[in-house]
Every structure is written in C-alpha cells, then in structure tokens.
Chains A and B, each alone.
Chain A
C-alpha cells in the first residue's frame, strides 16, 4: 500500500467561542479509547483534567480573571472566564519526532505527528523533547475491562489528530463534537486565513488581548499544525511564550557526529591496514 501525501491539515482552536463544555475531551476519549485519567478534584476553577498527558489528549483550561472581556467597555463587568481547549500542536518542526529512535513517531501524509503504537517501545526520549509537555508515558493500574489496545504499557500516547478517522475521510472526533466550532479542523492554509480574519474581527470589536498563538510559520517550531486564538498572553494559558524546537541544533549535531564517525572509521581502517602491513 502506498501512501499518497495529502494536504497538511490541522486545528484552529478559537477560544473566543469556547464554552468550556469539554465535549472535545470526551469525544477524544470515546473515539480513541483513552482510559480514564483518575478522579481528582483540583479546585482550579472547573478544570479537573489539569494537563495534557497520555490519558488526556484534549484539555480544557479555565482561567478566571478580573479583566473586562472587551477594552471598549461594552457590557463588561470586569470579570471574564477564559476557556481554551489545548491539544498537541503537531509542530512543523517537531522535536519529539526528531529524537524518536524507533521510528514510532512519524509525520503522516496529512502533515500531522503521530506515535505508532505498534512500534513505540516506551523509551521516553520524546517526553522531555516536547516544549509543551504533551508527550507522556501511560501508567495505569491494570483494568481488565479496557480493550487490549488501551492497557497499561508504558508507551507514549498523545493526540493523533484522529489519524484513522482522517484515513476514512472523517474529521477528528473533537472537532466534530465541538458544539460551537471553537475547534475547527481543515487544511492548515485555510485555517490560517480564517484565523487572520477572525482576529481582525475581534480586534475591530475591541476584544481584550486577542492574539494568535502558533499560527506563524516563522516561530521557533515553524508554526503549529494545531494553533490557537487566545484572549491573553500565552503564559496565562500555561503555554511557553516563545516555544523553540528542542532539537533546533540537531542538524549541526548530526554533521559533527558524521565527521567524528568518519574520523573513527578512518582511524580504524588505518589500524587494520596498518596491522596487515
């Protein structure tokens, strides 16, 4: 079977219309058979998921602020409740993919970054490589009622942008479920254009702090395949303000490594030759 390269697709998550319902979290888990992530009440507003990890591939953050929603004072009460559905960014330059020694992490024909569970051996190199802390090894108590696919294995799990659904021509589960279409799925170029228009509208309407995050192909990770419209600085949502691919210097490292290896080969060969002579 040959795989034909497709147009690069992704998510545009527009937090200005996110109602914090968490349908994305559940839709993701239902489709991908992601196990329950424990029942801890955090007290962090309505967020009891806490973070993206092996068992939560979508995470809705809730931020309560004493800030008006709009700068023009239109109807504001000086209080706003930001909600944002986080997900793997499917970076253009993905460090996780660079460091994966098994070829488990790969870039699909859709331009997304996916862990292939039949290859991943749980080495965990990708975990610290991700500037967003998305990659995580699954640790679960044994649960007999889970399908084998979802059992404890120590492997790394994350958003696949519903790779299997894409192959069938279906949109990812979270985007399909999203009641307000805060999560939009589509060809990345189209999404970027839509996001620019959306930002212009919000700026025109005087929304406080509206900005795009990860839309720019010139940023430290070459732009996200899943980018966001935020209503405040990225760090407010727990994002690194200026993410940089952790393997940025890898090509140079490869070149140095290759030179060193060549030197070794030469040296060894010389030894052999020398030995015989």
Chain B
C-alpha cells in the first residue's frame, strides 16, 4: 500500500472526507464486518428441544452445522419461556460440549488404583453378567415370614429425575421383570 493511500485511509481523514464525523461504518467497515453473518443463519438445521436443567421446561432451539451443535438459545414459540433462558439453560451448549465430558468407557477393577479402558460391548456384557449372577446368588423367593417376595435385595438402581419419561419407563419395567425393587431417584432425595 502506498503511503498516500495509507494516510488517506486513516480513519480521521476518512471521516472528514466522507463527512462521516462520527466514524460511521461506511468509511471504516472491515472486510469481516461487511460479510458478517450470525452463525445461526448458517446452521444445517435447527431442532426444537427442552432445557435439561430444572422443571420449568423452557423451550430451546438447537442449531447444528456439520453434525455439531453450534449454538443453543431460547425457543420463542414456547408459552412457558417465550424464548428466554436462565444462565444454566443458556449454558446448555457448553454443558453438552464440556471440556470434562467423557466419551469412552472407563473401568476400575476391584482393588485397582487406576482406570482402564474397556470396550463398550464388553462392558455391557460384563454388566449383564453381574446382574444375572448377583440376582441368582441373592434371590429371595419368599420373605423370612414366608410371604412371597420374588425379588433380589442385592441390586439397586438410582436415577431418573434427569432422564426422559421413556427411559424411566424402561428402567422400571426392566427392574420389575428382574425382581429389583430398590429403584429410586432424586424425587426422593
């Protein structure tokens, strides 16, 4: 760039020249500013979702590009939240993309001092075995008083308040089938 052009593009001079005494955009707008677009306008698709934190149930819009969530904000259509979100709801994207998020199975052997890696299929099979074995070893057909029991008191399941209804449904259904009665969640705690 020649010296003359450099001096001429000095904003103060440009403002004087263009009558842009307040330094208005036309004269100093950068290439990026000129082409700027909000990234939600470039999403591949938008999904209507619900906030995962408290039970107010605010509507969320989840913007996705190239298979990744690029932004989450309030869904204006919701009669509950009218597009607004609290700090937690607004941080949902950072939650689902937390730097602490785990993506692979971790396994700790009895008495071990460190985690190990474990294949998901193997882990599932091992857990299924543990359930089957524990249940068989600690099955209670009848109580001490002789009443029918049909259960194991050696396995418990905790969780549900942060899960979907459909998930809770399968948990309870499976546990009834298996005779696991100690099924509890945060609603109690």
Give Cα A143–Cα B93 distance, bound, in whole angstroms.
18
B29 close to A (CB within 8 Å) = yes
Contact, CB under 8 Å: A117 / B24: no
Please report the total number of B residues contacting A with Cβ < 8 Å: 40
Question: Among the listed A2, A100, A254, which residue makes an inter-chain contact with B11, where contact means beta carbons less than 8 Å apart?
Answer: A100
Question: Among the listed B12, B33, B35, B84, which residue makes an inter-chain contact with A177, where contact means beta carbons less than 8 Å apart?
Answer: B84
Give Cα A116–Cα B35 distance, bound, in whole angstroms.
12
From B26, which residue of chain A is reached at the shortest CB distance?
Answer: A3
Give Cα A104–Cα B37 distance, bound, in whole angstroms.
18
Question: Among the listed B11, B25, B85, which residue makes an inter-chain contact with A109, where contact means beta carbons less than 8 Å apart?
Answer: B25
Give Cα A1–Cα B89 distance, bound, in whole angstroms.
37
A64 close to B (CB within 8 Å) = no
Give Cα A118–Cα B34 distance, bound, in whole angstroms.
11
0/1 string, B28-44, CB within 8 A of A gives 1: 11111111111111000
Contact, CB under 8 Å: A3 / B34: yes
Contact, CB under 8 Å: A177 / B29: no
Contact, CB under 8 Å: A118 / B32: yes
Contact, CB under 8 Å: A176 / B36: no
Seen from chain B, the residues whose Cβ lies within 8 Å of a Cβ on chain A are 9-12, 14, 22-41, 71-74, 83-87, 89-91, 93-94, 99
Min CB gap A270→B, angstroms: 22
Question: Among the listed A1, A23, A163, which residue makes an inter-chain contact with B86, where contact means beta carbons less than 8 Å apart?
Answer: A23
Give the 7 A-B residue pairs with the shortest CB-CB distance, closest first. A168-B38, A103-B28, A103-B11, A26-B87, A116-B30, A118-B32, A106-B28
Chain B residues near A177 (CB, 8 Å)? 73-74, 84-86, 90
Identify which of A1, A25, A107, A117 gathers the most chain B CB atoms within 10 Å of its CB.
A107
Min CB gap A129→B, angstroms: 13
Min CB gap B68→A, angstroms: 12
12 contacts between A and B (CB under 8 A): A27-B90, A97-B22, A103-B30, A116-B28, A162-B38, A168-B37, A168-B41, A177-B90, A179-B84, A179-B85, A179-B86, A181-B84
A108 close to B (CB within 8 Å) = yes
Please report the total number of A residues contacting B with Cβ < 8 Å: 44
Contact, CB under 8 Å: B40 / A168: yes
From B92, which residue of chain A is reached at the shortest CB distance?
Answer: A30
Interface residues of A in 144-196 (CB under 8 A from B): 145, 162-165, 167-168, 170, 173, 176-179, 181
Contact, CB under 8 Å: A31 / B71: yes
Interface residues of A in 10-59 (CB under 8 A from B): 21-23, 25-27, 30-31
From B34, which residue of chain A is reached at the shortest CB distance?
Answer: A1
Give Cα A30–Cα B86 distance, bound, in whole angstroms.
12
From B9, which residue of chain A is reached at the shortest CB distance?
Answer: A103
Give Cα A162–Cα B71 distance, bound, in whole angstroms.
14
A100-B11, A164-B38 known; A176-B25 Cβ under 8 A:
no
Chain A residues near B28 (CB, 8 Å)? 103, 106, 116
Give Cα A33–Cα B33 distance, bound, in whole angstroms.
17
Chain A residues near B14 (CB, 8 Å)? 103
A5-B24, A107-B22 known; A163-B29 Cβ under 8 A:
no
Contact, CB under 8 Å: A117 / B32: yes
Contact, CB under 8 Å: B29 / A106: yes
Contact, CB under 8 Å: B90 / A107: no
Chain B residues near A100 (CB, 8 Å)? 11
Give Cα A104–Cα B85 distance, bound, in whole angstroms.
33
Give Cα A81–Cα B90 distance, bound, in whole angstroms.
24
Chain A residues near B85 (CB, 8 Å)? 23, 27, 177, 179
Contact, CB under 8 Å: A178 / B84: yes
A109-B24, A168-B37, A168-B40 known; A176-B32 Cβ under 8 A:
no
Give Cα A117–Cα B32 distance, bound, in whole angstroms.
8
Chain B residues near A262 (CB, 8 Å)? none
A30-B71, A163-B33, A167-B37 known; A106-B90 Cβ under 8 A:
no
